[in-house]
Amino acid sequence: MLETINSPIDVPRAHLDPITTLSEKLSVFALAITRPLRHETIVLCCDKLQRGVGIFAFDSKLRLTEIIDRIIGSAINVEAVAEISLCTSRAGNGQESTDKLQFIFAKNRCLDAGLDLSDWFLVASGDVYALSS
């Protein structure tokens, strides 16, 4: 899949190791994302100490604003989730002009549900974009 996200050498262990850096988050996403790329969003759930407590995927061409309630509904069913990070693949398509606004909307929806949406990454052919910056 990704020449941009290589398979990690050292992956954080669920319920044990904090996942705090960009490279640690991307290493988890690199293991979970489907190859070859297709439309999907991977959700990494972490507890208050930023340790991974769950991960799941949504196969969907829908925009983030259209699936965020489903993501929240799934995340709050995972015990101890305080924070989520997202990684979306659009089957090779790059950024869209509305991505920043989608992130702001999704972050606010998550806050209303008691979750912190910390990051949103887009994986496209040849690059990874941090849409939450």
Domain boundaries in the chain? 34-59+68-92+105-133
**pLDDT for the residue numbered 2:** 45
pTM: 0.89
Contacts of 132 (CB under 8 A, 6+ apart): 103, 107, 117, 118, 119, 120, 121
Q: In DSSP terms, which residues pair with 87 in a beta bridge?
A: 42, 121
Q: Which residues of 46-83 are buried (b: 16+ CB within 10 A; e: fewer)?
A: bbeebbbbbbeebeeeebbeebbeebbebbeebeebbb
CA distance 93 to 67: 18
Report the pLDDT value the prediction gives residue 6, as an integer from 0 to 100. Answer: 52
Are 106 and 74 in contact by the 8 Å Cβ rule? The answer is no
* pLDDT recorded at residue 37: 87
pLDDT of residue 94: 82
Terminal Cα distance for the chain, rounded: 24
State residue 116's pLDDT score.
97
- What does the pLDDT read at residue 28? 92
Question: Each residue's pLDDT tens digit in the chain (133 positions)?
Answer: 344 555 556 778 888 899 999 889 998 998 899 888 899 999 999 999 999 999 999 998 899 999 999 999 999 998 899 999 999 998 767 888 999 999 999 999 999 999 999 999 999 877 889 988 6
> What are the angstrom distances between the C-alpha of 62 and each of 65, 90, 112?
8, 10, 21
Topology adopted by domain 34-59+68-92+105-133: Cytidine Deaminase; domain 2 (3.40.140)
